[in-house]
Structure 1
Amino acid sequence: MGDRDTEHWLRQHGLPYFVAPRARSRALLARTAPFLVFALSFDVLSSVVLEVTIDLDTVSASELTLALIALLLVIAVPVVPALLGLWTSRLLRSRAGAKRPVALVSLALYLVVDPLLFGALGFDDPVDTLGQNAAVAVAALALTWLGIGALLAWALRAALRQFGALGQLATRALPILMLVVVFAYFARALWEVTASMTVPRLVGVAVFFVVLGLLFAVPIMRKELSTLGRAPETEGPPLTPLERFNLGVVMVMAQAFQVALFAALVCVFLVVLGTLAFSDEVLNSWLGGHGDNAQVLGVDLPVRTAMLKTAVFLSCVSSLNFLVSVSTAPAYRASFYDPLLDGAREALAVRAAYRAGR
């Protein structure tokens, strides 16, 4: 594998600071093109979809159908641009001759067509949009040169790959928490607390659990990485502080995706369970003035807002427990933690060969 192939492999695995500094500006615009495609499609979709309000008086479909349509529209806003960005990245990897044309076209679309389209639709002034898009494009080029673009692109791909572990998470990790979580879920006092939480306060609670998780995960990851660096198969120049930081960030983010996916599973499980188990009479008695339904694009979802808040709160608690379990318990470490360490060993071996070749 030549130097360019190795550098591409390292960037693909979220390790841009393992690449020699002289190679950072190579094909810079082409490496930024997937983000420009993402930004362009996200601008268009978010401006159109989030301006939509479904008028229930003029639509004859059932409430459940309308709720599903509204949810799909909201989900499409981040998902479709992400898929388009990934498709652009794959196109540029498979067709080397397309790099420059695709990069120039994506830049022209973002800087020229996007502002004109916004102006024609009456969303914003074309000159203002051009200035904003130009600033975003310059920032994207700078961040790509610094290696942040490669790290973010890897994060997106890793997040999508984690969906492949959905079945394993559901069958192996969920049962260890369901007993405690379900008992807490049926406690009226918890519902009264979470129902009275504002959205910023609930976000603050979630951030608090994220910080606790980092305080637990980062020291463990540092210890594991120091052990890996001394392994015989990863012999090479000592890691620089920047390379060590880069590898640590990748490892922590990869584990964060597993925890986030588990939290989402718990949240969905609890919402479905609550919808089946709680009657309107019980919820009205428990919630009092906080018994309104969640809304998307003006459509009432068949889920109480308080139920979503309670599910989110318990999913945060469960995710911290899950993180501790997969990091310490042998049965879960082999399934969720050890593959991350195997990936780190491979990256260190590739780095050693890359440095030896140079």
Structure 2
Amino acid sequence: MTSPDRYAAERWFLVRGLPAVVRRGALLRRIWGRSAPALAGVAVFAANSILVVTLSGKHTIDIDGRPTVAEGFLLALIVLVLPVAALVGWLVSRIERPLWRVVAANVSVAVAIIGCVFGGPSPRIMVNLLLVGISIAVIVVATASGVGSIAGWAARDTMSNLALASGMFVRALPVVLLTFLVFFNTYVWLMAAIVTRERLWLAIGFLFAIAAAFLVSSTLERVRPILGETAAAPEDVDRLAGTPFEGIADEPGVDPLSRAERANVVFVVAASQVGQVLTVALATGAIFFVLGLIVLSPPLLASWTRDSGRNDGHILGMTLPVPDPLIQTTMMLTAITFMYLAAKAVTDKEYRAQFLDPLLAELRLTLVARDRYRSSRPGR
């Protein structure tokens, strides 16, 4: 395998979230260009902060009561910044030429620095520069360690399976309807009004850990046969056509999967399922949040929370014209929905046939490509 082919092969594995498969030095090559999508996301947040400071004249968002027209624009910026950052990062990730990726990374850093001067979370420029510097350092380290490869793959996989997520949401309607009873429960709102945000995050983390452990344990059972043997099938020749591994013979006796590679494979499958379930849970939480905005009024909030709830909400250091109990109730219902869907994903045969089985088949093909990649390396 020539050097250009080796680069294409390594990029093929990185795109599929398997950095443990490539050579140790491959992760250290072209780090800056490979970090461009995440850096572009940082640039979007920096540009958004400039707009926020320009409209509000402040470096923090503090909106209580009925928002004005300008504050309405601020709320729109808050809602749109994450989807826009994801879209820009996705567009940058589609750049093939390494040189243009480096240019995109440099432009992103320049925009982030400008954002430190004219925007940012703090009125102190040095504080903003320090935060941006830390963000860039984290991105570069994640890229060099392979974490960025896995995160990028998980994001693309989640977006590509949105149609399946909608089907999963339809099958989860029974629990959604049951959760309506929880949503209109006075004691739930009273607890949401009294419990602190720190305790709520601990409770949500506890529920998430239980559900994730359940998914991982079931994933091990499904993945173990693939980890034990990845013999090539006749149809793999056609499926690998057009890839860097086309025309490479399948040789027996290739190095077995290392512990790092096994952990990478299990993590990829588990992360794919967690991302799928989390997407549906977040969509469910968004429905309840919008429902709360429609039906909730100050007298109803006072009745449900016994005058313990605040009419303004606090999240990520921002004060928003949304009742804090509504935010906390939505968070709890999202966590409960995630736990239910995690259990259903393991036991639902239709879900396994539509999502998990194709994922495992694609993973087995990737491991066949891994064997070809290893057999083509001189001295292996």
Query: Same fold by TM-score, threshold 0.5 exceeded?
Result: yes
- Pick closer, same or farther for the CA change 1:293–1:340 going to 2, 3 Å: farther
1:340 aligns with 2:343: no
- Pick closer, same or farther for the CA change 1:294–1:163 going to 2, 3 Å: farther
In structure 2, C-alpha distance between the alignment counterparts of 1:80 and 1:40, rounded to whole Å: 11
| Cα shift readout 1:33-71 (whole Å, capped 9, x = no counterpart) | 22222223323324643635569799469xxxx65x444
Tell me which residue corresponds to 1:158: 157
Tell me which residue corresponds to 1:353: 372
Tell me which residue corresponds to 2:196: 198
1:141 aligns with 2:140: yes
1:306 aligns with 2:290: no
Tell me which residue corresponds to 1:257: 275
Tell me which residue corresponds to 1:9: 12
In the alignment, which of 87, 98, 107 is matched to residue 91 of structure 2? 87
Tell me which residue corresponds to 2:247: none
State how many pairs are aligned.
344
Cα-Cα RMSD: 3.3
8 Å Cα contact 2:227-2:262 kept in structure 1? no
Tell me which residue corresponds to 2:78: 74
| Percent of residue pairs identical | 24
- Pick closer, same or farther for the CA change 1:357–1:90 going to 2, 3 Å: same
| Cα shift readout 1:143-182 (whole Å, capped 9, x = no counterpart) | 322212212222332343343434213322x223134323
Q: As a proportion of its length, which structure holds more helix? A: 1
In structure 2, C-alpha distance between the alignment counterparts of 1:313 and 1:121, rounded to whole Å: 33
In structure 2, C-alpha distance between the alignment counterparts of 1:310 and 1:277, rounded to whole Å: 14
In structure 2, C-alpha distance between the alignment counterparts of 1:295 and 1:11, rounded to whole Å: 40
- Pick closer, same or farther for the CA change 1:237–1:121 going to 2, 3 Å: closer
8 Å Cα contact 1:290-1:306 kept in structure 2? no
In the alignment, which of 106, 112, 115 is matched to residue 113 of structure 2? 115
In the alignment, which of 174, 182, 185 is matched to residue 184 of structure 1? 182
Partner-residue secondary structure (3-state), 1:292: coil
**Does 221-230 or 153-162 show the bigger shift?**
153-162
Q: Which amino acid aligns with 2:89?
A: G
Q: Which amino acid aligns with 2:88?
A: L
In structure 2, C-alpha distance between the alignment counterparts of 1:324 and 1:244, rounded to whole Å: 24
In structure 1, C-alpha distance between the alignment counterparts of 2:228 and 2:348, rounded to whole Å: 24
- Pick closer, same or farther for the CA change 1:292–1:125 going to 2, 3 Å: closer
Tell me which residue corresponds to 2:249: none
- Pick closer, same or farther for the CA change 1:10–1:298 going to 2, 3 Å: same
Offset of 1:324 from its aligned partner? 0.9
1:318 aligns with 2:337: yes
Structure 2: segments with no counterpart, 5+ residues: 53-58, 233-251
Structure 1: segments with no counterpart, 5+ residues: none
| TM-score normalised by structure 2 residue count | 0.77
In the alignment, which of 173, 176, 183 is matched to residue 175 of structure 1? 173
In structure 1, C-alpha distance between the alignment counterparts of 2:276 and 2:261, rounded to whole Å: 23
In structure 1, C-alpha distance between the alignment counterparts of 2:64 and 2:191, rounded to whole Å: 33
**Does 336-345 or 8-17 show the bigger shift?**
336-345
Tell me which residue corresponds to 2:346: 327
Partner-residue secondary structure (3-state), 1:293: coil
Q: Which amino acid aligns with 1:203?
A: W
1:51 aligns with 2:51: no
1:285 aligns with 2:303: yes
Q: Which amino acid aligns with 1:148?
A: V
8 Å Cα contact 2:313-2:327 kept in structure 1? no
8 Å Cα contact 1:18-1:351 kept in structure 2? yes
Q: Which amino acid aligns with 1:352?
A: D
Q: Which amino acid aligns with 2:321?
A: D
Tell me which residue corresponds to 2:241: none
In structure 2, C-alpha distance between the alignment counterparts of 1:114 and 1:295, rounded to whole Å: 28
8 Å Cα contact 1:326-1:336 kept in structure 2? no
Tell me which residue corresponds to 2:210: 212
Partner-residue secondary structure (3-state), 2:321: strand
8 Å Cα contact 1:115-1:126 kept in structure 2? no
In structure 2, C-alpha distance between the alignment counterparts of 1:58 and 1:343, rounded to whole Å: 49
Offset of 1:10 from its aligned partner? 1.0
In the alignment, which of 33, 43, 48 is matched to residue 40 of structure 1? 43
In the alignment, which of 16, 21, 24 is matched to residue 18 of structure 1? 21
In structure 1, C-alpha distance between the alignment counterparts of 2:65 and 2:174, rounded to whole Å: 43
Partner-residue secondary structure (3-state), 2:35: helix
In structure 1, C-alpha distance between the alignment counterparts of 2:185 and 2:67, rounded to whole Å: 41
Tell me which residue corresponds to 2:243: none
In structure 1, C-alpha distance between the alignment counterparts of 2:229 and 2:44, rounded to whole Å: 45
- Pick closer, same or farther for the CA change 1:222–1:58 going to 2, 3 Å: closer
8 Å Cα contact 1:326-1:332 kept in structure 2? yes
Offset of 1:243 from its aligned partner? 0.7
8 Å Cα contact 1:116-1:126 kept in structure 2? no
Offset of 1:273 from its aligned partner? 4.7
